[in-house]
Copies of this chain bind each other. A is one copy, B any other.
Amino acid sequence: MSDKSITDRRNFLRRAAVTAIAGGAVAACSDATPKVAAASTLPAAKPALSAAETMDKMHEAGVKAFPAKTAGKGNQILSPRIENGVKIFELTAEKIQWETAPGQMVEAWAYNKQVPGPQIHVREGDSVRVILHNKLDQSTAIHFHGLELPNSVDGIPFITQPPVKPGESYTYEFTAPEGNYGSHMYHSHHNSAQQVGLGMLGAFLVHPKNPSPIEHADVDYTLILNDGAHGYTFNGKSFPATEPLTAKVGQKLRIRFMNEGMMIHPMHLHGMHMTVFAKDGWTLPAPWRCDTLNVAPGERYDVIVNCKSAGVWAFHCHILPHAESEHGMFGMVTAVIVS
């Protein structure tokens, strides 16, 4: 809930309370006067908001606050340093404070102070070096989820590498495999239920050398779903601090769904359908359409939305308790805004 919505809600609760007290006070002061008279003075006082109005005001405050400002933005593109033709990405893991919604601070274990960690973009066949610096007080390691790499860079402590201890650095060096382009991820694979739950994850996008027509999009958006210690989030933020997806009428919007949580999230888009054309980066032989796409932990789906219709289109997890409470929308809610 945004500061504004909290403030609005407090104001309404306060106003309601004050009105009730005032009414009570009037009644209390009217001991000497006939009860009918006391009652008749009440309409003159500001009437208490009804429960329905109070609820509506809280809902309205959330919507009006959207998109609410918070400190920190995750999932930002990380530009590589290029040396001898190798794209070099440095990731530093450390504890930070993270604001998921206005005023909601949580402890995060983050790459480069971002939740999700920065987006990594490479192209099929690229030479890639990822250097991990561990500033946590636990060991860690990175698994490149979806990339078909040699076993030695698979990122599993005691199986393919030693753990990267506190204070240490570790280098992963590989070629982005041919034919294995698409929407992939990177995340911790050591004490992962805790480390990934606290934010040690990010998108790893491999672009094809020869994109097929369905890959063309005017807007390309990566949406990482999570549900761990930070609550129900899209790219590390909860409504109303989530980011809207924006496009113009007639544009093609590509959404890359990634689930880094522990639960399924059936994502529902209002007003326009999605054409699902890739699963875990692999092009589907027979793309299919839907308005509700069930994304399970570890899965990625790529969809195209033909933005044919102007408006602010709600876009949310359809497990309703992940998206709305009696206090209004929260968590896994954002909007596709077509202008």
Instruction: Identify the A interface with B (CB < 8 A).
Output: 50-53, 55-56, 59-60, 63-64, 137-139, 143, 145-146, 148-152, 154, 156-160, 163, 165-166, 189-194, 196-197, 262-264, 266, 268, 270-273, 279-282, 284-292, 294, 296-300, 309-314, 318-321, 323-326, 335
Contacts and interface: CB of A to CB of B under 8 A. Distances in A.
A311 to B, nearest CB: 3
Oligomeric state, in copies: 3
Given A280-B290, A298-B318, 11 more contacts: A52-B137, A150-B311, A156-B270, A193-B320, A197-B320, A263-B319, A264-B264, A264-B296, A266-B299, A273-B282, A292-B297
A226 to B, nearest CB: 12
Given A282-B273, A324-B191, A326-B191, A145 B291 contact: yes
A288 B283 CA distance: 8
Contacts of A165: 52-53, 56
A159 B296 contact: no
A268 B298 contact: yes
Most buried by B among A157, A189, A196, A320: A320
Most buried by B among A158, A300, A323: A158
Contacts of A313: 151, 154
Nearest to A197: B320
Given A280-B290, A285-B287, A193 B266 contact: no
A109 to B, nearest CB: 13
A309 B180 CA distance: 14
B52 A166 contact: yes
A250 B273 CA distance: 35
B151 A59 contact: no
A123 B163 CA distance: 48
Nearest to A291: B280
Contact of A271 (B154, B272, B291): B154
A318 to B, nearest CB: 3
A273 B300 CA distance: 13
Contacts of A59: 157-158, 163, 190-191
B270 A63 contact: no
A156 B288 contact: no
A151 B51 contact: no
Contacts of A64: 158
A126 to B, nearest CB: 19
Most buried by B among A52, A268, A279: A52
Contacts of A163: 56, 59
B273 A297 contact: no
B321 A159 contact: no
B143 A270 contact: yes
A52 B289 contact: no
B324 A271 contact: no
Most buried by B among A139, A292, A314, A321: A292
Contacts of A271: 148-149, 151, 154
